[in-house]
Structure formats: C-alpha cells, structure tokens
Structure 1
Amino acid sequence: MWQTLFSLTNVVAVLGWTALLVLPRAALVRSAIMFAGVGLLCLVYVVLFALLISGSVDPAAVAGSDGGMKSYSIAGIRGLFLSDGGIVLGWTHYLAFDLFTGLWIASDADNKGYSRFTQAPFLVATFLAGPIGLFFWLLIRERRARAVARAAGGR
C-alpha cells in the first residue's frame, strides 16, 4: 500500500513539474498545476496525516520503532519517520510544497520578464532540492524586483 501511494504521489508531482516546465503558462495550465497537482498532494497529505496521527492505519514501522509520533519533538518525529507511512507523509509534504514553490517562482519570473530558459535551472533545482532552488531564485530576482518597483513608481 505505502509503495503504491508513494509512486502515485510521485506521478502527480512529475506531471505537475513537466507541465510547469514545458507547457504554455496559460491560466488553465496554471490552475491545473495548482489544483490537480498541489491541491491533490495537499489532500493526500491531510488524509494521511489524520490517519497516521490517529493510529487508524498501520504505518508499517521498521523493527525497533512503534511508527507513531508521540510528540512534536525530534524523538517523536523520528518515531513517525521510522515507518513507511511516515516516509510517504513526509515525502508528500515535500512534493506539495516544492511544486507550489516552483509555481510561484515561474509566475514571479514571468512577471519580471525572465525567459523560460533562464527560469529552468531554478525550477529544476527546486524540483530536486526545494530550498536550494528557492534560495538562488530569491537572490537572482531581487535586483529585477527593485527595478520593476521603481518603474511602477515605488521606492
């Protein structure tokens, strides 16, 4: 069960990222990425979170762990992540937030006039290691963001 859910969430994420990278950024495409991609991953996360935290499903804990989260502490979270269910939950969290972040980067870059070619490395970095791609995008966008604000009459 956990492997199947893991694989399905990966398929949803890869489809969203592929659309973000190669399809025109029409309103319908952006909405599909947001709701059929990010939204679906968030829904899976919400359901999994509720089921795992309540103990309603077997988290498939590894030997030596009960697979449950007893508290919001390192030990508590480690207990959850020492299970297949916890890994799928955490991975789904990453997939949802990274895709949302990629969608924001693409929209921000489009609004600031960056080419799709220029955006691609930041999007790929965000897909592979979310905060790294976002960090470098934030560094690069700042100069143009200030120029756009000045041109619009801001300071």
Structure 2
Amino acid sequence: MTPDTLFQIANPLAMAGWVALALSPLAPRPALMLAGGVIPLMLSVAYAGLVLAFWSGAEGGFDTLANVQLLFTDPAIALAGWVHYLAFDLFVGAWATRVARDEGIPHLFLLPCLALTFLFGPAGFLAFSALRFTQSRLRAAHLKG
C-alpha cells in the first residue's frame, strides 16, 4: 500500500473519532471507546508499522532542524509523522472530553477546545487547561459565596 493510500485511510479514520467526540453527549461510553481507544490504537499500529518499515532507510534525524526537514522529505516518514499527530491529538481530545465530563464542564465549552486540538494540537490542550482552571475557580468561588 502506498503512503498516499494510507494517508487517504488515516484521515477519515481520525475524523470519525473527532465526530464521535463532538457528538459524545449522545453516546458517551461508545464515543470515548472509539475516539479514546480503538482509533488511536489503530493509528498507533499504522505508525509503528511505518517506522519499522521505513525508518532505517530514511535520511536525516532529530539533531538539527535541517536534519528534521531532511527526514520528512521521505513520504513514508512524513506519513508516519502525520499519523503520529492524528493519534496523539485524538487521544488528547478524548482525554479532555473524559475530564470535562468528570469535572462537570459543559460540553459546549469543550467544543472550541476540541476544534483547537484537532487543528493545532498543543494550542487546544492549552485552551482546555485554561478552561479547567477557570471552571475550578468559578466552582470554588461559588462554594464560598
């Protein structure tokens, strides 16, 4: 299977997980099993397979920015990097969804954080962390007042 074909499979698979998270109030348990377990595990298997199959033949490395750029000129390694993003961002989104539910954070407040995590990974994690902090402060102030 070519890297292009695998790319065409990985993207909709990850998107299904993000849709499940967005709609998770309708079916919380299945959504989190799918988006927080099944899909990230499938993507992780694909990632591991790509690394095992293509890493040794790739030029470049992680010691300089120029070598990172060189490493990702190999389509199979670039795909591995992309699948890495897909798996970890979705896993973080599922974690945030689980934590939000456990801490009583309204799902509507979570949705922008999920969108940011989907698009910009760490920025979404940062937004969710700020949301959690704000919600915990509001809860504490409400209990005192």
Matches within 5 A, 1:19-30: 19-23=20-24, 24-30=26-32
Instruction: Mark the CA change 1:70 to 1:83 in structure 2 (over 3 Å): closer, same or farther.
Output: closer
Identical counterparts, % of pairs: 30
Secondary structure at the counterpart of residue 105 of structure 2 = coil
Matches within 5 A, 1:134-153: 134-145=125-136
Per the alignment, residue 80 of structure 1 pairs with 71
Letter in 2 for 1:4: T
Instruction: Give the TM-score of the pair, scaled to structure 2.
Output: 0.84
Aligned equivalents of 1:91, 1:21: Cα separation in 2: 22
Aligned equivalents of 1:97, 1:15: Cα separation in 2: 15
Aligned equivalents of 2:60, 2:20: Cα separation in 1: 39
Instruction: Give the TM-score of the pair, scaled to structure 1.
Output: 0.79
Per the alignment, residue 9 of structure 1 pairs with 10
Structure 2, unaligned stretches of length 5 or more? Answer: none
What's the Cα RMSD here?
Answer: 2.2
Q: Which has the higher helix share?
A: 2
Q: State the shift of 1:110 in Å.
A: 1.1
Aligned equivalents of 1:19, 1:42: Cα separation in 2: 19
Aligned equivalents of 1:88, 1:36: Cα separation in 2: 20
Structure 1, unaligned stretches of length 5 or more? Answer: 56-67, 151-155
Runs ≥4 residues deviating over 4 A: 146-150
Whether 1:127 and 2:114 are equivalent positions in the alignment is no
Instruction: Mark the CA change 1:70 to 1:82 in structure 2 (over 3 Å): closer, same or farther.
Output: closer
Aligned equivalents of 2:140, 2:14: Cα separation in 1: 33
Letter in 1 for 2:107: R
Matches within 5 A, 1:100-111: 100-111=91-102
Q: State the shift of 1:86 in Å.
A: 1.8
